[in-house]
Amino acid sequence: MSEVAVLSYGAGNLASVSFALERLGARVHLVDTAEAVAAAERLILPGVGAAGYAMARLGELGLIESIRAFTRPLLGVCLGQQLLFETSEEGGGAPLLGLIPGEVRRLQAGPGRTVPHMGWSRLEIMRDDPLLEGLGDESWAYFVHSFVCPDGPTTLARADYGDPVPAAVRMANRWGCQFHPERSSGTGARILRNFLELPA
């Protein structure tokens, strides 16, 4: 049975993420100390809400450097993906974890496009990766977000919301999903299972 630590820092939807992992047979540990992060086999950084608040909470708990130093598989979910980048326009340039280059920017509204981007979007797979193994051209995921990560060489999959939305990213041992895999039916379950099967 896979062991997975889910970061509990007051800015994540812990219950739904934990239930989704447990349905896949994982043993889930909620962690909130640097020591527990360092000892984790694999780590999920969930997140909802504001980037500045989330970073402040991580700082108050002394978790920022332990996340930066983590060398085993790390998955950021929704806001958790955004936190992997360097800065966010939110709050006038909030500093983030700095694990992936680039600035997170506010989504732009347009004809037929409200902000936040909320609902189901099809994933366009840009390159092969173990996290996305088994996904095809008709893989759909559930999004709720008002900010978007930069599109570039770390992008594994995109969604179309007028402009490309980096839906999944990777740099080294750090992956991110802008969508909610725990709410994305079979697509999300496959991604979480793939994450649990990554070599630790």
List, by residue number, the catalytic residues: 78, 180, 182
3-state secondary structure of 6: strand
Rounded Cα gap, residues 17 and 86, in angstroms: 25
* Structure tokens belonging to residue 68: 């930066």
User: In sequence order, what E strands does 24-139 have?
Assistant: 27-31, 43-45, 74-77, 87-88, 94-95, 103-106, 117-122, 124-125
3-state secondary structure of 190: helix
* Structure tokens belonging to residue 145: 């977000």
Q: Quickly tell me which residue has 């793939």 as its tokens.
A: 194
Rounded Cα gap, residues 90 and 2, in angstroms: 35
State residue 169 phi and psi, 5-degree precision: -135, 165
